[in-house]
Amino acid sequence: MAPLEIKASRADPALLDLPWDVPLEDWPDELLASLPRGISRHVVRFARVSGRVLALKEISHHLAEREYGMLRVLGKLGIPAVEPFGVVSGRETRAGEPLDAVLITRHLQFSLPYRAVFSQISKQDTAKRLIDALAVLLVRLHLEGFYWGDVSLSNTLFRRDAGAFAAYLVDVETGTLHEQLSTGQRAYDLDLARTNIIGELMDLQAGELLGEESDPIEIGDQLVGRYQELWASLTERESFGADERWRVSARIERLNELGFDVGELEITTDLDGTTVTIHPKVVDAGHHARRLMRLTGIDAGENQARRLLNDLDHYVAMTEQQAEEEEFVAHEWLQVQYEPVIRSIPRSMRQKLEAPEFFHEVLEHRWYLSEKQGRDVTLVEAAEDYVAHQLPLRPNEKSLVTTETSALPIFEN
């Protein structure tokens, strides 16, 4: 019998206890997380190991090693993607018959597959918000020189991000990394994304998860438009008169609003100095998230971070501390505003929403209550009312993937 080989990002002896000599589709139910399986060319199962949920995907050894390595590279580049955990190869049945290798990734907590999103949220703009998130992810990938080759909602997970969604890459089996993508490569990826998404949304309509008033083709076109708008904002040169240099700062602020930092600018002038051309040379996503992390240590999504920073700015103004050091006031805001709200979450409900998303929801609820009651409702009052009347109605999103993901083909190809 060939020796079993386990390559893992961290040592976990519990992996040795799993029945690697049994085909994945025949694993006993007591080892698996309760997750409905979607259509896929590969066998995928979810297992609980050492208190965590791991996704197991049975593929050839070559593809498993390749995808594991690619996910590690994307992680180092800061691309939102599932975390690779390991590869198990050298598998054989007890009769000595060879079995495919298994790629192991960690389940992304508080993430939602697109079908689960639509089964929970019936708002008309749900599809648009998912498309916006996917467009941002695709732009980030292309800026890094990553050609996906299989763009779809099925190959993406979504996290709530202060009323919007953030998209995370799941399947990179067909992906390749280049120094820079050509216009043709980007266009092909974008066209493939449009085609796949239209098909997936039509499937949702057939299953009555997407309203008849929604037009899948129009939504697919929205992805193309949103992508092109983002790409232009991040990469196009802009020319203006030498007396309009304020537009340099305006361009940087606009990029920051899109959630990107500008690491370098290329500014050139005509020979007579009449016009100036600006081109952002290096852009990086997560501007607000990094600022929030630096000031408070809170790890949040980009929109969540923008929302929390807005509340921090409001706190600075209300306490008249504009002249104080930003870090000092942020620490005070953390103790006075943020932490009391988060501590108000009952232990039994802490799996329903991430802490930054909960704080965002309380801020929204505070505005709603203030409008309804015609007075300024305090943050503590809003948190108590939200916990009493709204939070119990929310699903446990931290563990949703193991309970009700609605035909989730996370590794669909």
Compute and round to an integer the Cα radius of gyration of the chain.
24
On whether both 25 and 94 belong to a single domain, the answer is yes
Report, as an integer, the average pLDDT of 380-398.
83
What domain range includes position 63?
Answer: 5-107
**pLDDT of amino acid 39:** 46
Burial (CB count within 10 angstroms: exposed 0-12, middle 13-18, buried 19+), residue 272: exposed
Task: Mark whether 42 and 117 lie in a shared domain.
Answer: no
pLDDT in tens, 56-98: 999 999 999 999 999 999 988 888 899 999 999 999 998 889 9
Q: Same structural domain for residues 141 and 192?
A: yes
The percent of residues in the chain predicted with pLDDT above 70, rounded, is 83
Contact of 151 with 171, CB cutoff 8 Å: no
In whole angstroms, give the CA distance from residue 380 to residue 382: 5
Q: Are 162 and 307 in contact (CB under 8 A)?
A: yes
Structural domain includes residue 136 = yes
Note every long-range contact of 309-315, with CB atoms under 8 Å and residues 24 or more positions apart, other chains counting.
Answer: 311/337, 311/359, 311/363, 312/337
Complete DSSP assignment for 374-406: TS---HHHHHHHHHHHTGGGS--TTSGGGT--S
Query: What confidence score (pLDDT) does residue 176 get?
Result: 92
404 falls within a domain: no
Q: Name the E strands within 152-224.
A: 156-161, 164-169, 176-177
DSSP line for 46-66:
EEEETTEEEEEEEE-HHHHHH
- Any domain includes 402: no
Is residue 380 located within the same domain as residue 320? yes
* Count: domains in the chain: 4
Tell me: do 133 and 101 sit in the same domain.
Answer: no
| pLDDT higher than threshold 90 for residue 277 | no
Q: Is residue 337 part of a domain?
A: yes
Maximum average pLDDT range among 40-44, 75-79, 394-398, 401-405: 75-79
Residue 412's pLDDT is what?
Answer: 36
pLDDT of res. 257: 73
Mean pLDDT of the region 288-304: 83
The residue behind tokens 């190959």 is: 155
The rounded distance, in Å, linking the Cα atoms of 317 and 337 is 14
Q: What is the pLDDT of residues 198-235, one digit of tens each?
A: 998 888 888 877 777 788 899 899 999 989 988 888 78
pTM: 0.68
Q: How many CA atoms lie within 13 A of 268 on its CB side?
A: 8
Q: Are residues 306 and 386 in the same domain?
A: yes
Contact 219, 197 (CB under 8 A): yes
Work out the pLDDT band at 402, boundaries 50, 70, 90: very low
User: Could you tell me if residue 50 is inside a domain?
Assistant: yes
d(CA 398, CA 53): 11
Whether 98 is in a domain gets the answer yes
Residues 248 and 319 occupy one common structural domain:
no
Q: If pLDDT is split at 50, 70 and 90, which confidence band does 265 have?
A: low
The predicted structure's pLDDT at residue 410: 37
Same domain, residue pair 163 and 186: yes
Residue 64 domain flag: yes
Same domain, 148 and 247: no
More reliable by pLDDT, 119 or 342: 342
Residue 19, pLDDT score: 92
Please indicate, yes or no, whether residues 230 and 309 belong to a single structural domain of this protein.
no
pLDDT per position as a tens digit, 157-208: 888 776 678 888 988 888 999 999 999 999 999 999 999 999 988 888 888 7
Q: Give yes or no: residues 99 and 212 share one domain.
A: no
- Residues 6 or more apart whose Cβ sits within 8 Å of residue 4: 20, 88, 89, 90, 91
Q: Which residue has the tokens 């916990």?
A: 387
Residue percentage of the chain with pLDDT more than 90: 26
Report whether pLDDT(2) > 80.
Answer: no
Question: Is 60 domain-assigned?
Answer: yes
